[in-house]
Structure 1
Amino acid sequence: MNRIAIDRRAVRWREGTGIARYRAGLADALARLPVAVEPIGDGGDTAARPGWRDVPRILHGRPAGLRTGTGWLIPDLYRLAQRRFTATGALTRIILRDPPAIVHWSHPMPIHVAGAANLYTVHDLIPLTDPELTAIPAARQRRLLGRLSQVAAQFVTVSESTASDLRALVPNAGERVTCCYQAVDPGPTGALAPGLVPGAYLPTIGRVESRKNIEALLHAHCRAGTGLPLVIAGPDGHWRDAGERRRVAALLAAPDVIRLGWQDDAAIAALIANARALLMPSLAEGFGLPVVEAMALGVPALASGTGAAAEIAGDGALLVDPRDAPALADAIGRIASDSNLRAALVTAGRARAADFTAERFAARLAALYERLW
């Protein structure tokens, strides 16, 4: 049987960020294929921290994996590899006795396994294309992708938009870039947040930050005058400047705005499933997970009409230019008040969401792995 290694985080972290959801989908997709899956790393186990004798080997890029059951244990691999890359700009090369044919890293880690085809999933290139919208340093991402392009058998992206950006920004990547999208499963729904009435609110999901276009969304919601509260769910994120942060803080105090903090996956699913419509006019996305979740749940969605968000939504969502304030307000008003529009979006959205099932993701991965084998 063919053997594939994945970073151990993909089999441990099931909730949280979009990358965590991707990891879970990757592990689930591999479980559908006739392959032996071998987790690699430590998954954050504090009991697996290295002793002082192990640290120099890892920091100098010479760790050796210990075979444990069906996987490989390398204590504190991820943290120390990141520290080594920050200090030296070098990748950590792992030596495994009888390595698997393929190692699929769930995001660009500064690590590679000798004697295996190393694949790296690139979720977005926002630090390079829109550096003002993220706290991730552009120079670090550029350097990391450049180093990885020297050892990668393939870069895997979650959208064709990101694939195109990767080819343009990392010339060495060339033909070693394949879009496999990702699997989307909203999962079971939990309890709706107290005070919310099903069908009588408009949510937006994700980090509350510049990239999500929160300031423009708050103004557009006020201008649309739908009579429905805007529910903003997610932790605080990165702001372009202190002025924007202060303005948003003032707008969040409006009586028709409900600010929720971080929510677990079941709460997010409930928040989307019971909404009149989802509003996601982001300025930049690598994929756009909440929009696909809404389409899968039969909820109409408004999405950005640019970049990866527009590609992923297709004709399954109402697309709008996120920087056009009047158009954004008009679109919010339409999706909130036009039941015929919402019904049409639900039908188109369900059809579009079918492109992102676990079965289709597994099939795309299988085709990629087959080429490498």
Structure 2
Amino acid sequence: MTDKTSEYTADSREWSPPRRLGGLPPYPLADVPDIKARLLAEGRTVIDLGVGDPGLPVPSIAIETLHEAIGNPVLSKYGFQRGLPEYRQAIAGWLARRFGAEVDADLEVLPVIGSKEAIALTALAVLDPGDSVLIPDPGYAPYFGGAYFAGADVIRFGLRAEDGYLIPPDVIRRARGRLRLVYMNYPNNPTSAVAETGYLKDVVSACRERGAVLLFDNAYSEITFDGFRAPGLLDIEGGREVGLEFHSMSKTYNTTGWRLGWATGNRRLIGALRRVKTFFDTGAFMALQAAAAAVLQDPDAYIQRSLEQLERRRHAAVAALRDAGLDVQAPRGTLYLWFPVPSEEKAEDFCRRLLIDSGVVLLPGSAMGPGGEGFVRASLAIHEDRWEEAGRRIQEAL
């Protein structure tokens, strides 16, 4: 991580960025939009495998409900933290069907403006400055961001292939300091690793022993393959007492721009996060919540259709990338393929060169933390018919 504090001026008459920003990692490939724009201006096509957006159609019932709800003046008012009661009830119903557990829609469900902001804000709800936080490396940026802005002692654990990209429970037991928060995400972004129920039980036990809150990011719970069913805290005896589980409408229902999700779990933690959020937002647009409620009450045929399309993409992607000479394994979950950089280059340098030479965008693993160096992430973001061309371009650039 680069220390940029030396760039700041002590001249109080002129504004300069706070030192706090100097502790944030630089944004990798910040020049990608400019490179893409230049390539397009030259008449070249760009294949973007870097974005974590499935790009599938939004459920029709969501569109229809939103069209009707947007004309309701009541739904244009502040929703505040509790949001639309029908949305909370729909979430509780979905959780009951999915995990077989009854959830109190008033006390154990918190609607959030996409899980990203709430995952970061959880650190402010849980931690005192100096508390220890364990985060996976590589991992989703809000894990580090939330812990960093909360003034925590951030412990990065490097995910390793030999561990199945899992954080061993003993790492939680032995973590330094006053461990109060553990971030965990399975099915995992970016490695696509999955966790079995037995493993999650051990993690819950380890967190209980340490008195640490487990933040379980389950955004990809419904995007799994080969018959695998992703577990959640509600599957584990005592799981909800130990932590919070986050779900997102973005990936499951292809509504990334709608910014809708929820947290469920320990009532005191839900209350603490709700209190923090009252100082940062006044809730998501309630017409969107009404549309989401309609989707969550609909049969799961939509999810199955989406998975069938993603399965075809997965098959095409693995075949095309292997033909290009890349060491790729078929993921059991998420939208991503995770593989080693096929050269001696740094991940960011490889991805930049590939974009310039071939017009293909990949995400360097280092964008997800220093533990991702040497790896690249590709997303199932394009139609299966385009993967052959993507593979050919990559092969020609190697």
TM (norm. structure 2) is 0.30
